[in-house]
Amino acid sequence: MSTEILENEQKVYDRLEKLGIDYKVIEHDPLFTAEDLKSIMDRAEGVHCKNLFLRNAKGNKYYMIVLEHDKDVDLKNVKELIGSTRLSFGSAERLLKVLNLTPGSVNPFSLINDEEKLVELYMDKEIFRGQPLNFHPNVNNKMVTIAEKDILKYLESVDHEPEIIKF
């Protein structure tokens, strides 16, 4: 693994520790889709999420949508809910440029890399049900389990408080 990828991951742990946040990390084979999560669900307690990196029709606005791993999502519905123009998935090039991530690694922790504040964060209200949440730490071969209140504390610390809505 490259030094840059390791630094991108370490940045997350450093911020969590600076904030005094407890978390657990498990290592696993690389996961690229929400379907792949099934292979590790028995090893990481709580809610498993899928994280979508989207852009508007002009390509000048970016959105991260966080939902439970098995929830179906209709981009036309999401567009209406967040007040955007037509949505599509951000390309690998845009993902690297905006969040310093590779496909399969999209996660709320990566907003630490969004120094220009280009990404709007929306989290599904239904993932907040008193259980820990699971997200990649900027790499797709590890999973961080974190308390709900602590992911919100982390996001506030990187100036990306989510809009919590029902998708």
Task: For 89-155, give the DSSP string.
Answer: EPPHHHHHHHHS--TT---GGGGGG-TT--EEEEEEGGG-SSS-EEE-SSSTTEEEEE-HHHHHHHH
Q: Are 102 and 45 in contact (CB under 8 A)?
A: no
Please state, rounded to an integer, the average pLDDT across all residues of the chain. Answer: 92
Domain of 37, in residue numbers: 3-165
CA atoms lying within 13 Å on the CB side of residue 34: 15
pLDDT, tens only, 59-97: 999 999 999 999 999 999 999 999 999 999 999 999 999
C-alpha Rg value of the chain to the nearest Å: 15
pLDDT, tens only, 87-133: 999 999 999 999 999 888 899 999 999 999 999 999 999 999 999 99
Give me the pLDDT at residue 42, please. 80
Torsion of CA 95, 161, 121, 163, to 10 degrees: 180
Task: List the CATH number of the domain containing 23.
Answer: 3.90.960.10
pLDDT, tens only, 129-150: 999 999 999 998 999 999 999 9
68: helix, coil or strand? strand
Number of structural domains the chain divides into: 1
Q: How far is CA 1 from the centre of its chain?
A: 21
* pTM assigned to the model: 0.92
Would you place residue 36 in the very low, low, confident or very high pLDDT band (cuts 50, 70, 90)?
confident
Round to whole Å and give the CA distance between 120 and 63: 5
Q: Are 32 and 104 in contact (CB under 8 A)?
A: yes
pLDDT, mean of residues 7-12: 93
Q: Which of 135, 155, 152, 153 is nearest to 143 (CA)?
A: 135
